[in-house]
A and B are shown apart, each in its own frame.
Chain A
Amino acid sequence: MTGILAAPAVRPVRRARPTSLRHRMKGLWPWLIVAPFLLFSLFPIYWIVLTAFRAQDDIFQSPVSLLPSNLTLANIRTVWFGTGPNEPVIYFLWTSLVIGAAATLVGLVLGVACAYAVGRFRIGGSFLPGFILSFRYVPAIALIVPFWMMFRALGLLDTYTGLILIYSLFSIPLIFWLLLGYVEASPRELDEAAYVDGASHWRAMWHVSLPVLMPGIAIAAVFTFIGIWNEFLLAYQLAGNEVTTVTVYLPRLRTAIAELYGEIAAASLLAVLPGIAFAAVMQRYLVRGLAFGGLK
């Protein structure tokens, strides 16, 4: 059976479909769903920003206007630099920063080492990883009472040391979970090549493996820091006087006398900035982290 090429251009060529409105509509429908979600997600953030920059009169109108008008820096000034009974929020941001950074650092040292040990050398068999991972779901709220008693006994209440200690220990399971996948994915041969070149275990880990694990460490650092930055319960119950994080400070702006909406918004604005920065990072690595952590 032989085929033949049809004689070209005998029939007029018809457009298969109009590339105009109908075609465009087909590609547009996902945005019809996403747009409301975007609006919903971002409106409260917009509200924080708006309220932070709003004058008292505009904040307390009924019904309240949704659009900006009559903007002022008064609230910002109040919370940043403090007036009267209110301390500058900057001070508490600093406390959160110090504690967050220190605890993240300690947590990383402990957690990465542990993940490296288990992932590379397979100690503890199949029991150990599961054991460590199970600590992820221990709720701080369930253990808050014994913690408080322990801290009191050890004189750790209301100290930087105490919070840093407990935060770093609590962050170990998450760091372990995130890094384990990265360790298992990085080639064992790199370390072995280093051993052959005469490196000790420590040097091989430090010079060879850790650089390769950097992306994972970075993600773990970001996740851990944000978790500590946003934490309330432990910072509230185990500290709160000398050592006050920004999250603990915020509710104090709600006094019985006046609802300091503007100040709360201005302070919240500063407190959510790391979160917003984090969201950008989160997007890229969330799926990856989940994939590595496995559907455990």
Chain B
Amino acid sequence: MSGIAFHGVRKSFGAVEALKGIDLEIPSGTFTVFLGPSGCGKTTLMRVLAGLEAQTEGDVLIEGRVVNEETPAERGVGMVFQSYALYPHMTVRENLGFPLRMGDKPKAEIAARVDEVARVLQIEHLLDRRPSQLSGGQKQRVAIGRTVALDRRLFLFDEPLSNLDADLRVEMRLELQRLHRRLRSTMVYVTHDQVEALALADLIVIMRGGTIEQVGAPDRLYDDPANLFVATFLGSPRMNLLQGTVEDGGASGRIRLVSGDAIPAGPLPLRAGEAVTVGIRPEDLSVDSGDLALPFEPEMTEHLGANGYAYGRVAGARATVQLARRGGAFVAPEGRVMVRADALRLFGPDGARLRAPVRGREALAS
């Protein structure tokens, strides 16, 4: 099996357990994103993969080979750091050439390769400058250049875009995608920004508190979250959550929301009286199209140019509704919102997703 694998990887720093048993396989050639809030262990996992930290337990495999004892260079790993980590006392040219120098390549080869990399990344005019004379975006390119100068099996990116301005970030995101397409190597990327993850990833690994919450393609994670955490972490604005209890878990069951409204539900693996959370994404709430209707008390609307949102309460719970344009203007719901049955996401009392279809096209019932 080629690609990357983690088997039962644990990492503790003294009393703190940063990674609590990670099992993961990443196919080669994919662009994988480790996504999660700060402290979730994503950076630690990457550093363990790189060989910069030693795991306390478990194995790391690259291309089918256990690499626990190998140094980063031996693993064939390249890394772009959050702060770029350019060598401040060397010129750009020397920075780019350093990995080649450490590999004891002949001078002529180093020079040729450096020129080539500089050309591809369009930083030829910067070759004789020092890092302190470069802008953020330029440093970024040099960091990438230094990483690709050597043929590496694996490329790692540790939140490389977090120090850039917004427009530069978008531009660099495209650069990275182009890079991946050209090199076709396995790339692992760490970020806390779900927009970046959704944009770049072939595969997202969402982590929290040292464990993996879910692994999958971006669309799949977005549409089919495994639990409340994944569902609310992805998607901006956040998924709306309505609390309720199971009235009947049977075939013609119902969920009674806190507000008193009822939602028809199919068979649920829950007993009557157990708590249930109903999740609805803002874009799935509509003024007029859907199977179910829910009461809506509007509070405020925002028109943000391309998008518009209405804020208020849906069935008593705070919610956001994404607005659609009709005839050039945003239309906000009044009194009620509609939602399609298959857009509802149900979560049990422990936050785990209940994958049962919601049936029926019943209107509001009290």
Question: B residues 151-206 with Cβ under 8 Å of A?
Answer: 202-203, 205
Interface residue? B115 (CB, 8 A): no
Contacting residues, chain A, for B69 (C-beta < 8 A)? 17
A55–B205 alpha-carbon span in the complex (Å): 75
Known: A1-B203, A2-B203, A4-B25. A16 touches B54 (CB 8 A): yes
> Within the complex, what minimum Cβ distance (angstroms) separates B77 from chain A?
17
Contacting residues, chain A, for B54 (C-beta < 8 A)? 16-17
Known: A13-B57, A14-B58, A16-B54. A5 touches B7 (CB 8 A): no
Interface residue? A3 (CB, 8 A): yes
Contacting residues, chain B, for A2 (C-beta < 8 A)? 203, 216-217, 220
Q: Mark B59-72, 1 if CB is under 8 A from A, else 0.
A: 10000000011000
Question: B residues 8-49 with Cβ under 8 Å of A?
Answer: 8, 23-27, 30, 32
Question: B residues 202-243 with Cβ under 8 Å of A?
Answer: 202-203, 205, 212, 215-217, 220
Known: A14-B59, A16-B54, A17-B69. A3 touches B212 (CB 8 A): no
Would B58 and A13 count as touching, CB distance under 8 A? yes
Contacting residues, chain B, for A17 (C-beta < 8 A)? 54, 68-69
Would B216 and A3 count as touching, CB distance under 8 A? yes
Would A3 and B7 count as touching, CB distance under 8 A? no
Contacting residues, chain A, for B7 (C-beta < 8 A)? 6, 11, 13-14
Interface residue? A24 (CB, 8 A): no
> Within the complex, what minimum Cβ distance (angstroms) separates B177 from chain A?
14
Contacting residues, chain A, for B30 (C-beta < 8 A)? 1, 3
A19–B59 alpha-carbon span in the complex (Å): 15
Cβ-defined partner of B24 (8 Å) among A6, A11, A15: A6
Contacting residues, chain A, for B5 (C-beta < 8 A)? 6
Q: How many residues of A contact B (CB 8 A)?
A: 15
Would A1 and B202 count as touching, CB distance under 8 A? yes
A267–B54 alpha-carbon span in the complex (Å): 54
> Within the complex, what minimum Cβ distance (angstroms) separates B2 from chain A?
13
Interface SS majority for chain B:
strand
Would A16 and B68 count as touching, CB distance under 8 A? yes
Known: A13-B7, A17-B69. A3 touches B57 (CB 8 A): no
Interface SS majority for chain A:
loop
Interface residue? A85 (CB, 8 A): no
Contacting residues, chain B, for A13 (C-beta < 8 A)? 7-8, 57-59
Known: A3-B25, A5-B23. A16 touches B215 (CB 8 A): no
> Within the complex, what minimum Cβ distance (angstroms) separates B230 from chain A?
13
Would A3 and B68 count as touching, CB distance under 8 A? no
Q: How many residues of B contact A (CB 8 A)?
A: 26
Interface residue? B132 (CB, 8 A): no
Would A15 and B57 count as touching, CB distance under 8 A? yes
A2–B215 alpha-carbon span in the complex (Å): 9
> Within the complex, what minimum Cβ distance (angstroms) separates A231 from chain B?
40
Contacting residues, chain A, for B32 (C-beta < 8 A)? 3
A9–B7 alpha-carbon span in the complex (Å): 8
A1–B202 alpha-carbon span in the complex (Å): 6
Interface residue? A8 (CB, 8 A): yes
Contacting residues, chain B, for A19 (C-beta < 8 A)? 56
> Within the complex, what minimum Cβ distance (angstroms) separates B59 from chain A?
6
Known: A1-B202, A3-B27, A6-B23. A16 touches B55 (CB 8 A): yes
A48–B247 alpha-carbon span in the complex (Å): 86
A231–B217 alpha-carbon span in the complex (Å): 74
Interface core residue of B5, B8, B56, B215 (most chain A CB under 10 Å): B8
Contacting residues, chain A, for B216 (C-beta < 8 A)? 2-3
> Within the complex, what minimum Cβ distance (angstroms) separates B204 from chain A?
9
Interface core residue of A2, A15, A16, A19 (most chain B CB under 10 Å): A16
> Within the complex, what minimum Cβ distance (angstroms) separates B300 from chain A?
39
A16–B5 alpha-carbon span in the complex (Å): 14
A13–B203 alpha-carbon span in the complex (Å): 25
Question: A residues 1-57 with Cβ under 8 Å of B?
Answer: 1-6, 8-9, 11, 13-17, 19
> Within the complex, what minimum Cβ distance (angstroms) separates B25 from chain A?
5
Contacting residues, chain B, for A16 (C-beta < 8 A)? 54-59, 68
Cβ-defined partner of B27 (8 Å) among A1, A5, A14, A15: A1
Contacting residues, chain B, for A5 (C-beta < 8 A)? 23-25, 212, 215
A1–B27 alpha-carbon span in the complex (Å): 9
Closest 10 CB pairs of A and B: A13-B8, A3-B203, A6-B25, A1-B202, A16-B68, A16-B55, A6-B23, A2-B217, A8-B23, A3-B215
22 contacts between A and B (CB under 8 A): A1-B30, A1-B203, A1-B217, A2-B216, A2-B217, A3-B25, A3-B30, A4-B215, A5-B23, A5-B24, A5-B212, A6-B5, A6-B25, A11-B7, A11-B8, A13-B8, A13-B57, A14-B7, A14-B58, A14-B59, A16-B58, A17-B69
